[in-house]
Structure 1
Amino acid sequence: PPPPNITVTPEKMEYLIGDTVSMSCMAPQLKEKIQGFQFSGTSGWAVDVRTVRRTYTYRFNITGPKDSGSHACTYTVINQLRRPIRSQESKFITIRVKDRPPQPTLALKSSTGITVEGQPLIFLCTAPAGDMERRFQFYKKKVKVISGVELTLGNNEAQLQVVESSRNHTGNFTCGYEEKTKGRWIPSYLSQAVEVLVKEPALAPHLGVDPPAGVVSEAYPLRLICVASRDEFRLRFRFYRNRVEIPPGEAGSRTSNIGNFSELLFPHSPRSFSGKFSCGVEEDVGGTWVASPQSEAVDITVKARLQLIPLVAGCAAGAAALVLGLPLAVCLCRRRR
């Protein structure tokens, strides 16, 4: 069969995403009965429509550059042997689609994508430079984020701030923007995903003491060991006595940090240093130091040293009296004789 005639409406040099296109395929006058029409595009799509009419209009929405290319149509008739025969292909019509605006860049204002519940999350979406009117959107797992404070910074940037993060904010975030073109908002490609992991707050650390009984004699070594519940962030430790922080180097103390624990050593336990001791841990969460609860308090008693000087002096005086008294007793004994 001869080729059909194909037309497209509206006719444009360039189509925008969201445009509706109508392709009409008209078969010539034939004796044979028409069975249907076929539409196809060089981008790889094809549609087969069953109808007995001589004309059929196929409508579709432009969704992106994949709808560009050359398009044609055919029709099918039933011959005298009741077999389907496809016609010659129509002339090609070309559709050009304006591409989406380029992809923006999404960044998280934090050194890592790992944070702790209750800490803020700040995202910055940056589009390529341009003069077109724009509006931005943020997405989590491709669902638009509606919670948080969104702030547009000029025509090329937007910021999303989540004041207090929760475990529900764990996931992949993306952003995009729409550009106003000929009165229509055209969505851009989405940014690369930024992964966020919101962890629960750290547990209180554990404080250990050496000697284990918590009783030490004055001037003897006292060792405090603070063990954090995890080491997923950079850590810093603090030690307390009666809820007051012990300054570094107090009473000749030395501190050493290894992994998830810290050791505070007093080579010579100070006099009157008894009290309730505890420790705390701070985690570096994206540049902010977040404190964990303090450990349980441990009672430590510093005993005074035994006063040996009076005892030694008394023994020496007794010995001297004995030495001096012995000749006197001998002298008295001789006189009596």
Structure 2
Amino acid sequence: MKFIFLLPLLAFFQTFPRLARPAGLLPAPHLSLEPLLPIYLQWEEISLICSPPQGEEATSYRFFNNEMGEISEGVSSQSGKGQVVTAVQGGNAGVYTCQYSREESGEKILSGDSNSIQIPVVDSLLPPKLSLDPLYAFYFQGEHVTLRCSAPLGQKAEGYRFFKQSGEQIVEVFPHHKSNDQFFITAELGDAGIYICEYWRWESGRMIPSRTSDPVSISVSDSPVRPRLTVTPDHPIYMTGESITLMCSAPTNATVLGFRFFRDGQNTGSPLGNGSAQLPLLRMEIEDAGSYTCDFWGPEAVQEIPLEQSAPVQIILIDAYTPPMLIMDPPSKVVSEGYPLSFTCIAPWKTEETSFHFYKDGTKIVPGNTRSEMSSTERWPRNVFKIPEVGLNISGEFTCMYEENMSGRWISSPWSPAVNVTVIASSRVHALFWLRSLVVGASFFIINSLIFLIFHCCL
């Protein structure tokens, strides 16, 4: 402070002997004080002004304190008055006087003592304590925090003031309702900073402030960033019996102690994790369907802040499909080489978009590769697989299945019951034909012979 020079000056000037003052040689000056107040505060700036009587010249001024002796030589102002500026403190309270002097015939002539002025100095009030409620390392936007300024026990306080320090500037906040010892903040980014407070009371018509409290710091952070919830595999719809894994991932650099998963707002699990955590759903049932979200907590979880949950993930479940029915023509399941063969795959219900697939011995049949024809009827969800002329390689086990487009996902049905097909070679067919013809001819001959014999015997 610019008036700290006072104490060294006092010690310096006390080393000089006080000049003798021949009584009445020069008329006494008038000592005045600016500003004129009933009491003064510690380190408050004051000016002592020593004014010679009108018409009297002065070349120097001296100021005295009844406790400390001479305290300073005054500086002559343009008005011809002596002035000393100082900052009051408990050690320089007391009674003050002044003198002026001038040179005559090479001799310094002193004036008489001025009138005396009493300077009462009031010690600063003890500092209050500034506290935060709730007390956290940082606050999120929208959180409420109360600053409370508490005067020391036994100290009377008639009002309070709160200040915020922004850089080098200290600005009073909450200037109204100064009798309230609490200051409420709904945290925003602009509220971050260092805060101090003081209290005050009236004495001798003056507002006496306390020393300021120790500072408290308020750090404000953006609202918590949402975690990210993903599902593997990712489909718009699932079937009962399928398994999925939900993964909750915290924002980068977040300090995480654990995660929570929710289904329709109900906690379904709280696994520990560092950057992410998983919730497996194995062989899902219909009751596993719902809207899933997740959140996380860190070391500051005691803050009781409203955590931001992830965007919801909808898990839609349907019951497993009924297998289709596979019909063969001819129904005997035996067909001769070179003859036509067809299979009809029929779904149990009608949907807007259905796709059918046929398999032989577990391998999917691609239309066109086996001289086949596929056609769908619009009347009912069915598909016909035709083979105009079968070969011996067609023998085997045939099945079919269908797929439905459900919200963009093709869902497969189970396989139909298998149909085993046997193909008979053409040479074998001819042999069987002649054998059958021979058997039929022989039978016809025997029957006719028996009829002839019976007819003639009876006659």
Short-chain TM bin: 0.5 to 0.7
Equivalent of 2:76 in 50, 53, 62? 50
Distance (Å, rounded) in 2 between the aligned partners of 1:212 and 1:3: 105
- 1:269 corresponds to which of 284, 290, 315: 284
- The separation in 1 between residues aligned to 2:271 and 2:139, in whole angstroms, is 26
RMSD of aligned Cα (Å): 5.2
1:286, 1:77 → 2: CA distance? 77
Question: Deviations 1:19-47 (Å, cap 9, x if unpaired)?
Answer: 8866355789xx9x7444466998xx977
Task: Indicate how the Cα distance of structure 1 residues 279 and 272 shifts in structure 2: closer, same or farther if over 3 A, else same.
Answer: same
Judged with a 3 Å threshold, the aligned counterparts in structure 2 of structure 1 residues 276 and 134 are, in CA distance, closer, same or farther, namely closer
**One-letter code aligned to 1:161:** F
Alignment of 1:99-138 (within 5 A): 99-130=123-154, 132=156, 134-138=158-162
Is contact 2:76–2:83 with CA below 8 Å preserved after alignment? no
Output one character per residue of 1:159-194: Cα deviation in whole Å (capped at 9) or x when no partner.
2222x2211211111110112223322100000011
Q: Which residue of 1 aligns with 2:198?
A: 176
**Aligned residue pairs: how many?**
291
Unaligned runs of 5+ in 1: 153-157, 249-253, 319-335
Spell out the pairing of 1:9-158 with structure 2 (5 A cutoff): 15-17=39-41, 23=48, 25=50, 34-37=58-61, 49-51=75-77, 56=82, 58=84, 62=88, 64-65=89-90, 68=93, 97-130=121-154, 132=156, 134-141=158-165, 142-146=170-174, 152=180, 158=181
Taking the aligned partners of 1:105 and 1:261, their CA distance within structure 2 comes to: 42
Q: Is 1:2 matched with 2:19?
A: yes
Separation in structure 2 between the aligned mates of residue 98 and residue 147 of structure 1, nearest angstrom: 25
Q: 1:295 is matched with which residue: 286, 306, 310?
A: 310
Is 2:31–2:50's contact at 8 Å kept on the other side of the alignment? no
- C-alpha separation between the residues in 1 aligned to 2:78 and 2:150? 54
Q: Secondary structure at the match of 1:168?
A: helix
2:190 counterpart SS class: helix
Match of 1:229 in 2: 251
CA gap 1:149/1:199 in 2 versus in 1, 3 angstroms = farther
- Do the aligned partners of 1:71 and 1:94 also contact (CA within 8 Å) in 2? yes
The CA deviation at 1:196 is 0.3
Task: Work out whether residues 231 and 259 of structure 1, in 8 Å CA contact, stay in contact via their aligned partners in 2.
Answer: no
Matched residue, 2:14: none
1:71-121, Cα deviation, whole Å (9 max, x unpaired): 89786867989xxx9x9xx9xx99663210101000001231411111111
The SS at the match of 1:289 is coil
Separation in 2, partners of 1:197, 1:303: 50
Q: Does the C-alpha gap of structure 1 residues 159 and 285 become closer, same or farther in structure 2, counting only changes over 3 Å?
A: farther
1:214 Cα shift?
7.4
* TM superposition shift of 1:273: 3.5
Letter in 1 for 2:173: V
Paired residue type of 2:138: I
Q: Is the 8 A contact 2:63 2:72 kept in 1?
A: yes
Q: Conserved in 1, the CA contact under 8 Å of 2:164 and 2:173?
A: yes
Percent identical residues: 19
One-letter amino acid matched to 1:185 = M
Taking the aligned partners of 2:224 and 2:237, their CA distance within structure 1 comes to 30
Quick check: 2:195–2:217 contact (8 Å CA) kept in 1? yes
Name which structure has the greater RCO, CA cutoff 8 Å, separation 6+: 1
8 Å CA contact 1:40–1:47 kept in 2: the answer is no
Is 2:232 the partner of 1:202? no
For residues 69 and 223 of structure 1, do their structure 2 counterparts lie closer, same or farther at Cα, with a shift above 3 Å needed? farther
Q: Which residue of 2 aligns with 1:251?
A: none
Structure 1's 273 and 288: CA in aligned 2 closer, same or farther, altered over 3 A? Answer: closer
Summarize the Cα distance change of 1:267–1:205 in structure 2 as closer, same or farther, 3 Å threshold: same
| Compared CA separation, residues 48 and 133, structure 1 to 2 (3 A) | same
Question: Separation in 1 of the partners of 2:233 and 2:97?
Answer: 90
Q: 1:185 to 1:198 in 2, by over 3 A?
A: same
Q: Which moved more, 1:130-139 or 1:200-209?
A: 130-139
> How far, CA to CA, are the matches of 1:149 and 1:262 in structure 2?
50
Letter in 2 for 1:106: L
Residue-by-residue CA offset, 1:267-304 (whole Å, 9 max, x unaligned): 44334645553334578677333132x43344546676
Classify 1:46/1:203 alpha carbon distance in 2 versus 1 (closer, same or farther; 3 Å): farther
Contact 1:150 1:159 in 2 (8 A): no
Deviation at 1:132, TM superposition (A): 3.4
1:247 corresponding residue in structure 2: 267
Alpha-carbon separation, structure 1, partners of 2:237 and 2:72? 87
**Larger Rg computed on CA atoms:** 2
What's the secondary structure of 2:245's corresponding residue? strand
Q: TM-score, normalised by structure 1?
A: 0.62
Give ranges in structure 2 of 5+ residues lacking alignment. Answer: 1-17, 22-27, 326-413, 421-438, 440-459
The alignment status of 1:192 with 2:214, answered yes or no, reads: yes
Specify the code of the residue in structure 2 equivalent to 1:130. G
Q: 1:271 to 1:17 in 2, by over 3 A?
A: same
The residue number in structure 1 matching 2:293 is 278
SS in 1 for 2:271: strand
The code of the aligned residue for 2:192 comes to T
